[in-house]
Structure formats: C-alpha cells, structure tokens
Copies of this chain bind each other. A is one copy, B any other.
Amino acid sequence: MSSNKDERPNGRYLPKSELSLDIPSNFPAYHGSSDFIINDTPDESCVTSSSNWCKTTVKKIFSRKTLYKRLPILTWLPKYNSQDAIGDLVAGITVGLTVIPQALAYAGIANLPAAYGLYGSFLGCFIYIFLGSSKDVPVGPTAIAALLVAQTAQGIWQRAVLLTFFTGIIEVLMGVLQLGFLIDFVSGPVSAGFTSAVSLIILTSQMKDIFGIKTTGSTFLDMWISIINNINNIRIGDTLLGFGCIVVLLGMRLMVNIQIGPKETKEKSWWQKIITNTIWLIGTARNAVLVVVCGAIGAYVVNEDYFLLIGDIPAGMPNFQPPPFSIGSVVENGTIIQQEESFSEMVSNLGSGLIVVPLISLLENMAVVTTFANGKPADATQELIAVGVANIANSFVQGFRGNGALARGAVNNASGVRTPLGNLYTGVLVIVALLYFTPYFYFIPKAALAAIIIAAVIFMIQYRVVKPMWRSKKTDLIPGLAAFFACLVLPLQIGILVGIGINIVFILYHAARPKLRVERLTTTDGINYIMLTPDRCIIFPSVEFVRSVINKQGMKTTLPVVVDCTHIYGADYTAAKVVATMIQDFESRKQKIYFYNLKLSVAQVFGGVTPDIIQLYDMTALEAELRDNA
C-alpha cells in the first residue's frame, strides 16, 4: 500500500493533494497495526459510504451471479446424480415420519386444531426446494414458532394464517433490504436464555394434556397455579400414558447410537448393517412409532374413558384460497363465540409479533444452516427470502408459520440428505397423510402428543452453557439470565427485547469507557515524556472521558504528552471538537501534546476542525521533536 494515498472502503483512492492535512510522504510502515486498515469485504461497506452502498446494491440485484444466488436450485440440479437421489429419498421420508407427529403436536402448542400443523408442512417444503440455500433445512412448524403463534394469534386460526402471510412478506422485505444482520444483535447468552424460557413454557403448557385436565392462564406462573388448583381432577389414564410415553421416547432416543458388531461401518457384515440401520431408523422415527402404537391403543379402548383423544381432523387437502383479511362473527346457540374483526383490528392484534416472529424465526433457521454448513458461509439474505416465500405460500393453504428447526435438521443431516430436494419427499408424505390417514389420527391420545413435545423440549433447556459462560465471561450471564426470567414472566416478544436491550447497554458502556494506558518513557537522549495509549476508537460517548483522563495526566506533570493513536481506527466530529479543545487546554498550560501514529482517516476527521494538530509517524521523528522542544 502506498503511503501517500488513503485507501477508502469504497475502493476510491484519494490523492494527497485532496487531503486537508500534510502527511509526511515517507513515514515508515509499523508492523502489524499502524497502517490504515482497509476493508476487505466490499459487500459490507461502512457507514461512511452509504450512498455507494445503494448503488452497488441496485447493481447487484440485476446480475447473473445474483440469479444463481437467488435460485440455488440452478446450482445443484444440473449436477444431480443417483447417489444424491438415494440420499434425499431416505432423508426426506425419515424427516416426514418426524414431521407428521410434530405437526399435530405443535398445533396444540399454537392453540389451534391439529390439522393446521399439517397444512403448514407441505407447500413450504416444495418452495424451499427452489429457493433454499441449505440442504439441511426442512421447512415446517417448530416449537418456538408455535408458541409465538399462540401468544400472537391467541387461538384464532384466521389471525394465525394472517400472521403467516405478513411475516412471510416481512421476511422477504428483510431479505431484499439485507437486514439479516439484525440477528447478530441477539447474543449467545440472550438466545440461550430465550430458548430455555420457551422450553419451560412449552413444557408447562403441555402438562394439562399429560394430566388430562383443563387449565387457565397463559404465563408460566399462571399455568402452574392452575395445575395445582386442578390437582384433584387429574386423570389416571392420561397421566400414566403421558409419563410412560416420555420414558419410552427418552429410551428410544438412545437407540440412535446403538451399533451391532464392529464400530466401523466398513467392517460390518450385511446383516449387522441392516440391524444397525433398522435400530437407527426406529430410534429416529420414534415419534411416528409412538403415535402409531398409541393410536392403536386409543382405537382399541375408544369406548372406555381412559384417555382424551385428539378427535376429528377434517379429511383431505386444505382449500387453496387467500389468507383471511377479516373475521366474521360466529354465533352458536344464540351467543357470540367469536367477535367480528376488521383488517386493521387483526393487524393491530398481531402487533410487535410482526417484527419479533421473523427475527426469531431467522435465528432458529440460521442455527440449522450454520450448524451443518461445516464452516461454509451461510447466506442469511437467501434464507430470509426462501422461508419468507414458503410462509406466504403456506398462508394460502391455511398453514401456520414454519421454518427450519434444529432437531429436525439434525435428523435430516444424519439421514444423509444431499440437496434441498429431500423436502419433496417430506411434503409428499404429509399430503399422503392428509389424504388417507386423517381418519386414524382421531384415536391418538392427547397425552402421547404432549409426551412427544416434552421429550423434545427438555433438551432445549440450555443449562449446560452456564458453566463455560462463567469460565469465559461472567458478566455475559447477566443478559442471559435477564432474557430467561423476562421471557418467563412477560410476553415472549417483550422478554427477548429486554435481553437485547440489556446487551445493547453493555455495548454502549463499552463504547463510552475506553481504557487508557499511561507510561512514563524516556527517549534515547534522556528526555522524559508521558505516553498515553487509548485502546479503541474515539467516538462521541467516550471523548469527554478521554479528554478528562488525558488532561488529568497532563496536569500532574510538565512533561510533554504523546498520545499513541495506534488503536484509534475511527473518530467522529464530536471527537474532533474535543481534541481541538484539548489542544487548547495544553497550549494554555504551555505544555506540548503530540499525536503519534494517527491513521489518515482519523487525521482527516480531526483536521476538519483543528488543522494545527502535531502528528508524528515514527519513533525517530518523535524523539527529534521532543529533543527540539526540550
């Protein structure tokens, strides 16, 4: 890099004559840290070049590269081979066997009839084949999404479907505007706290089906109080079945790791392979196995009142129709069981859910993508568009929200999925279930579905992160625990915002209070001076603080003060003003102040306000300057 040019993030070179400051043209390079930092990622330009950002964005939208990026199927389909086909078929069917019972169960979390879960599990899969960037994401209802739907739609299916529609549109918009970076503001601790709280709430909400009772209230505490109040109404049959199913599921979960014969697959005989794979398949499809077995039991004892069953599910495919933009009133036996609701009332009822649901959904989806990407860069923008369009489509078949879920993604990956085409078989399986199996779903006990949910969500309680967090950075526990407790006692949307808010306060405090190292140094000529090294960028929340520290150090002595600006990679107008005042402060005390190793970009910011700043770029020049003024 030539030393008399300022390399800007937008790639434009600024000749020396354009600069307002006189920079020595031969100041030597300083290893590893003193050069101007260049931005090697033109995609993500910094704030200063926002107009440029607009231009490049517009240009990028209409290029051939963009087409391949936005339609990932163009990349993998031409290279599709028979091995891919086998992998996708096996994985697609395995995931389908997981999705069907999950869809029925998660509809319960969402406080909707079971059919809506299935309605949201096929069309989105087909869309994702064309738009999805990750082979491992099976689009479908998830536990977290279901709970958010429950809190936002409050059990009214029209609101849930409208939420699917609008959040899909918002996701596409976020993708187009490249707002995927927003999830970066959800830190690991906040995300862990949120997920743990969600798991506990879901677990609590399912206890009523395990115990076979009716509960009131929707918060964590209210639900437990209601369960304790209803303790005398607990039904023995449901409770035994529920806890029994949980134990069986946790046991079957271990089957996935069972190996028959030698450990290496290559060394196994053909029957060892078949048995190992069968055990693995039963373990993986444990939810489907459980549902079939319990459904059979339910059908056998249907005339006894042992278990509460999920009951009628309308047979056949849902209607293809636009999402409901208003709700008509429903009157039954002369009383209004549902109020009329206009479009604007529906939207205002969805409220902050319209922002928080896409954000959480993206977070959940990207967790699947990055977990199985093996370090390949994940494309948040494309995932936003793919999941967004999938949800818009789902809203036309009355499905509730879906996206990739980590547990299902793991099944997909372990089943050897190779392209997003796996989604095809999953979708087809759900359609088959809708067309032919719905009459049999009648007999599934509610307690069995609740057990499936509980056996899944207990593994989402992230108690394990507390120890490494404590070892790594203790203060990170604060936003994590805050998010956890806030999500337990407040609506989820508010809870996660509380966690994010606390985290942002940490960043701001961090920006406001840099650390300064103070050293008393001596030149080779024996001249003493004070070296002050701020450790980061000087922007407005920190400047008054830095000025007061520098002045305080300066007033303790009459020695010249050198400010080492090596770590100052950015500054703003407020900083420039304060530096100007600081230079005046020193002048009024007849004390010298030098700025050592000031980056060109920062020097320009300072120079806009104070042209008379003394800059030095190497130790020899600094020592000469100190000697001349001694």
Contact = CB atoms under 8 A, between A and B. Distances in A.
B569 A535 contact: yes
A494 interface: no
Given A536-B537, A567-B569, A584-B375, A549 B41 contact: yes
B573 A473 contact: yes
A616 to B, nearest CB: 12
A472 B605 contact: yes
Interface in A540-574: 540-545, 548-549, 551-555, 564, 566-567, 569-574
B551 A50 contact: no
Nearest to A619: B31
Interface stretch (A32-40, A260-268, A309-317, A327-335): A32-40
A574 B609 contact: no
A468 B472 CA distance: 44
A588 interface: yes
B535 A609 contact: no
A73 interface: no
A592 interface: no
A38 B536 contact: no
A512 interface: yes
A508 interface: yes
Contacts of A564: 32-33
A133 B584 CA distance: 22
A304 interface: no
A573 B513 contact: no
A308 B535 CA distance: 61
A375 B588 contact: yes
A364 B9 CA distance: 37
A503 interface: yes
Given A376-B551, A377-B551, A48 B474 contact: yes
Given A468-B608, A545-B44, A508 B473 contact: no
A582 B476 contact: no
Contacts of A44: 513, 545
A606 B472 CA distance: 6
Interface in A285-299: none
A213 interface: no
Contacts of A474: 48
A576 interface: yes
B188 A533 contact: no
A12 interface: no
A609 B39 contact: no
A344 interface: no
Contact of A473 (B32, B548, B552, B571): B571
A512 B180 CA distance: 12
A471 B20 contact: yes
The 5 closest A-B pairs by CB, nearest first: A375-B585, A472-B608, A471-B608, A187-B540, A188-B574
A613 to B, nearest CB: 12
A518 interface: yes
A189 B549 contact: no
Contacts of A586: 375
A566 B32 contact: yes
A69 interface: no
7 contacts: A20-B471, A40-B553, A184-B512, A188-B573, A468-B573, A510-B570, A536-B536
A475 interface: yes
A378 interface: yes
Given A33-B566, A46-B515, 12 more contacts: A48-B475, A184-B544, A184-B545, A188-B573, A189-B573, A370-B544, A375-B586, A375-B588, A468-B608, A472-B576, A473-B576, A515-B569
A569 B181 contact: no
A320 interface: no
A570 to B, nearest CB: 7
Interface string A487-515: 00000000000000001101111111101
Interface string A591-630: 0000001000000111111000000000000000000000
